[in-house]
Structure 1
Amino acid sequence: MELIKVTRLDIDLIKNLPPKILAELITFEEVIPDGIMSVICEFNSFYKKERHNFLNYRPDLLEKMYHARNKRKRLAEKEEGDSVVNNINLENEEEIQFIKDYPQFKPLIESIICRDENREIVNVIPIDEYLAEN
C-alpha cells in the first residue's frame, strides 16, 4: 500500500506570523517549498505582496524556484505509480528537508498526515516525532 504523506501546517501561526519570522520569510535567500509558500500567501496577504516584490528583484531566485518545480515534476513522472501521488510525496520531502536545513521554520509544520490509496487518514505523526524517526 502506497501512502501519501502530506505536511499539516500550523495555520494559526501562519495567520499571525511573528514579525521576525515574517521578515525572514519575505527576504529569504533560498527557495521556500511551494506547499509552504502557497499556504502562507493564502493566509497572509502582506507576505504575499512583499515576497512577490522581493522576488521581482531576484531573477536568480525565481530561476531556482522554477528549476525546483520542474525537477520535482520530472522525478514524479519517472517514479513508478501515480505521478500525482509521487509529486505530493516529493513536495512533502522538500518541506521536511527545508525545516531540517532551516530549523527556525520548523514551527510552521505541525505534523505529517499519512493517507492510504483511498485518501483516508491512516496516521498523523507530530513533526518532532517524524523528524526523530527520519
Structure 2
Amino acid sequence: MWSSAAETPFSALINHPKATVARLASARELRLRRRDSDDLVLTKATRAEQEVEVVSAATRIFAAMVHRDGAALSLLVNVVPEAFPWVRFLPAEDVRAFVVELVRTLRAADSVGNPAPGGRRDRRVAAHC
C-alpha cells in the first residue's frame, strides 16, 4: 500500500497547504512523515469512504460464509496460510479456531467502524493464538 503513496514531511502541509493538498490530484494518498509521532495519511474523503465500504462488504461476506457453511470455513482454513504464513506452525484445530476468531473480530470491528483490531499490526489478533 505505501509503495504507491506519495510522501512529504508534515511541515509541508503546515507551510504550503494548497500545494501539498494539490498533490492528491496525482496520488491516491499522501503520507505525511512526522519525526516525533506516527505518520499520517492524507486522502480524499470519497476514497476513504470507498475503502471502508469494500472492507466492510468483504468482512460481511466472510462472516456469513463462516457462519452458514462448513465447506466455506474449511476453504478459509486451507487458504489462510497464504495470508498468515505463521499459522502453518499451528495444529489444524488451532488454525480453524484462528479463522473463526479472526472473522468474528473483523465482523465486530466492522460493526463499530474501527478496523484496527483486525489489522496486521494489531497484536491482539495474534495474541489469541
TM-score, normalised with respect to structure 2: 0.31
Structure label with greater radius of gyration: 2
RCO comparison, higher one (Cα < 8 Å, 6+): 1
| Higher fraction of helix | 2
| Higher fraction of strand | 1
TM-score, normalised with respect to structure 1: 0.30
